[in-house]
């Protein structure tokens, strides 16, 4: 759908055309009309599907430029706040009176408070900094018409909902817009409490799934840095994000690639806010071929033209994989997501498959990437209780020696079930004895025995 069909202000249409936006994405088609009508909206859509502009455009369109704050946008990280701020700034030439304030960690608290007291229409803030600012009674939020909670799942994971509760208490029944790639149970509980009658709108087109090709690479316990080196020499990506689970892994990979003369940058919590901003700016200026990242960069950060993503291990929170993969295939482009795995991580790989990933399988062999004709994934691990198996084999062996042909399989199965029940009773009795022994020892110690 064309943006003109939403009956937006002429200034917004001009800005969108100048910025290269012609057609709305699927989620924007669904969300923008509802947000324009000031309805409460809960948006569940894949990363990279255009969620930010689905609330940015209606907010700009609905601004009255009366005195006071009209929209408050809360995001979980400094990087996301800065990115959202930059998106709004792109429209500044078409709205000369537009004032946007950024209230985040790394900006002096007094400076942030002073900014809020000036005539600004939109505030973009992280919840920790916002909670301090809300204590100042001189800040007037009575005219705030819209509250946006972006990346709600991450706000929940990092424990920020208690701070956001304070915001709800300060505002006078605003329109609430919640956006998230996934809706966890904690997010659902929060929404049920604060927006009990509102439905979740969801983009079910799965457009990104069709644009991202997933590859699972069996490294067969080859050293991590060697595996990365082999991968790079075989794939030669245009712009690659490498994700690792720990700060140490991020640092080790970055130093290894830098030593080997790759054009590499890094984004992690170890860097200061200024350093992270500079790194993202350089990435968008094509200064790097590779960015090595912690999961800090997996959530909502938009770098242009990411061709490939490599997860050297699977994130502890399995859903973070989708945020990582979503760094590529943005703005209608295609991309690839690669995952290193070995025998020890097959269970997690199978979890991804169960969540709908349809991968192609590769393996590292002779310092090359080759198609894996017999991948380890999809195989169920069989945990054998050796003692029980021995007893079952002993019991069924007696049946085998009797040359019983009629109902042979049924008799073997019945005998095996008898052994299992007997073994289970034995284990229960053993557990009861163990608990009783523990109780007697505890009582003995109390009585000084």
At residue 342, the 3 state secondary structure works out as coil
CA dist., res. 238 & res. 236, Å (int): 7
CA dist., res. 147 & res. 149, Å (int): 7
Of 182-196, 247-261, 313-327, which range is least confident?
182-196
**pLDDT reported for residue 208:** 47
CA dist., res. 378 & res. 400, Å (int): 33
**pLDDT reported for residue 419:** 75
**pLDDT reported for residue 402:** 47
At residue 101, the 3 state secondary structure works out as strand
- Paired with 364 in beta bridges are 369
CB 265 within 8 A of CB 288: yes
Q: What is the pLDDT of residues 65-101, one digit of tens each?
A: 887 899 999 998 888 898 899 899 999 999 999 999 9
Q: Which residues contact 144 (CB under 8 A, 6 or more apart)?
A: 68, 69, 70, 71, 72, 171, 172, 174
- DSSP labels for 161-221? HHHHHHHHHHSSS-EEEEEESS--HHHHHHHHHHSTTPPEEE--S-HHHHHEEEEEEE-TT
Of 28-32, 233-237, 359-363, 429-433, which range is least confident?
429-433
Query: Where are the extended beta strands (E) located within 346-439?
Result: 360-365, 368-371
- Paired with 340 in beta bridges are 217
What is the reported pTM? 0.65
CA dist., res. 178 & res. 166, Å (int): 16
Residue with tokens 């929209």: 71
When the pLDDT of each residue in the chain is averaged and rounded to a whole number, the result is 82
| Highest mean pLDDT pick, 133-142, 165-174, 200-209, 294-303 | 165-174
Whether the pLDDT of residue 408 is over 70: the answer is no
**pLDDT reported for residue 447:** 58
**pLDDT reported for residue 302:** 75
Calculate mean pLDDT across residues 370-395: 67
CA dist., res. 303 & res. 377, Å (int): 32
Q: If pLDDT is split at 50, 70 and 90, which confidence band does 107 have?
A: low
Calculate mean pLDDT across residues 413-427: 73
Q: What is the pLDDT of residues 6-64, one digit of tens each?
A: 999 999 999 999 988 888 888 899 999 999 999 998 888 877 778 899 999 999 999 99
Q: What is the pLDDT of residues 146-168, one digit of tens each?
A: 999 998 888 887 777 777 887 88
Whether the pLDDT of residue 331 is over 80: the answer is no
**pLDDT reported for residue 381:** 42
Position with higher pLDDT, 108 vs 210: 210
Q: Which residues contact 203 (CB under 8 A, 6 or more apart)?
A: 26, 27, 30, 44, 45, 46, 49
- What is the percent of the chain where pLDDT is above 70? 80
> Which CATH code for domain 207-371?
3.40.50.300
**pLDDT reported for residue 319:** 76
Whether the pLDDT of residue 134 is over 70: the answer is yes
- 245-80-287 Cα angle (round to 5): 75
- Print burial letters for 54-79: b (CB count within 10 Å at least 16), e (below 16): bbbbbbbbbbeeeeebbbbbbbbbbb
Tokens of 283: 């990435």
Note whether 3-202 and 207-371 share their fold: yes
Residue with tokens 């001189």: 138
Residues, the chain: 449
Name the superfamily (CATH) of residues 3-202: P-loop containing nucleotide triphosphate hydrolases (3.40.50.300)
Position with higher pLDDT, 276 vs 297: 276
User: How many other CB atoms are found less than 10 A from the CB of residue 263?
Assistant: 13
Q: What is the pLDDT of residues 114-130, one digit of tens each?
A: 555 557 899 999 887 77
**pLDDT reported for residue 49:** 77
**pLDDT reported for residue 210:** 60
Domain ranges within the chain, ordered by starting residue: 3-202, 207-371, 386-446
- Paired with 216 in beta bridges are 339, 361
């Amino acid at each position: 759908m064309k943006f003109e069909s939403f009956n937006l202000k002429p200034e917004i249409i001009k800005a969108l055309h100048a910025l290269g936006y012609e057609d709305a994405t699927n989620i924007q088609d669904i969300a923008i009309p509802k947000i324009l009508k000031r309805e409460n909206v809960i948006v569940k859509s894949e990363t990279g599907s255009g969620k930010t502009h689905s609330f940015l455009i209606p907010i700009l369109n609905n601004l009255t430029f009366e005195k006071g704050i009209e929209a408050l946008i809360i995001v979980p990280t400094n990087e996301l706040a800065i990115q959202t701020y930059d998106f709004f700034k792109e429209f500044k030439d078409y709205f000369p009176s537009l004032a946007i304030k950024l209230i985040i960690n790394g900006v002096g608290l007094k400076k942030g408070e002073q900014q809020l007291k000036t005539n600004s229409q939109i505030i973009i803030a992280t919840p920790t900094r916002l909670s301090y600012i809300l204590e100042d009674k001189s800040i007037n939020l009575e005219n705030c018409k819209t509250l946006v909670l972006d990346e709600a799942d991450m706000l929940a994971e990092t424990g920020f909902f208690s701070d956001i509760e304070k915001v709800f208490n300060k505002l006078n029944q605003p329109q609430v817009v919640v956006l998230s790639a996934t809706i966890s149970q904690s997010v659902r509980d929060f929404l049920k409490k604060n927006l009990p009658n509102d439905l979740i709108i969801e983009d079910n087109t799965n457009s990104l799934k069709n644009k991202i090709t997933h590859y699972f690479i069996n490294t067969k316990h080859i050293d991590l840095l060697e595996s990365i080196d082999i991968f790079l020499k075989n794939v030669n990506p245009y712009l690659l994000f490498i994700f690792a689970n720990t700060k140490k892994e991020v640092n080790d990979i970055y130093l290894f690639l830098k030593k080997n003369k790759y054009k590499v940058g890094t984004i992690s919590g170890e860097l200061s806010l200024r350093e992270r901003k500079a790194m993202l700016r350089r990435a968008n200026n094509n200064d790097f071929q590779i960015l090595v990242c912690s999961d800090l960069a997996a959530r909502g950060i938009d770098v242009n033209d990411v061709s490939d993503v490599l997860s050297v291990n699977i994130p502890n929170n399995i859903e973070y994989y989708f945020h990582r993969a979503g760094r590529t295939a943005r703005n209608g482009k295609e991309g690839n997501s690669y995952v290193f795995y070995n025998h020890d991580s097959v269970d997690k790989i199978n979890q991804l498959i169960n969540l709908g990933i349809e991968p192609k399988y590769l393996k590292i062999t002779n310092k090359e990437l080759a198609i894996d004709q017999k991948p380890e994934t999809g195989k169920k691990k069989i945990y054998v209780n050796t003692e029980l198996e021995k007893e079952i084999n002993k019991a069924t062996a007696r049946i085998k020696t009797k040359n019983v042909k009629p109902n042979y399989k049924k008799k073997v199965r019945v005998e095996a079930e008898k052994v299992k029940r007997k073994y289970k009773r034995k284990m229960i009795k053993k557990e009861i004895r163990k608990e009783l022994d523990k109780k007697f020892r505890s009582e003995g110690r109390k009585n000084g025995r």
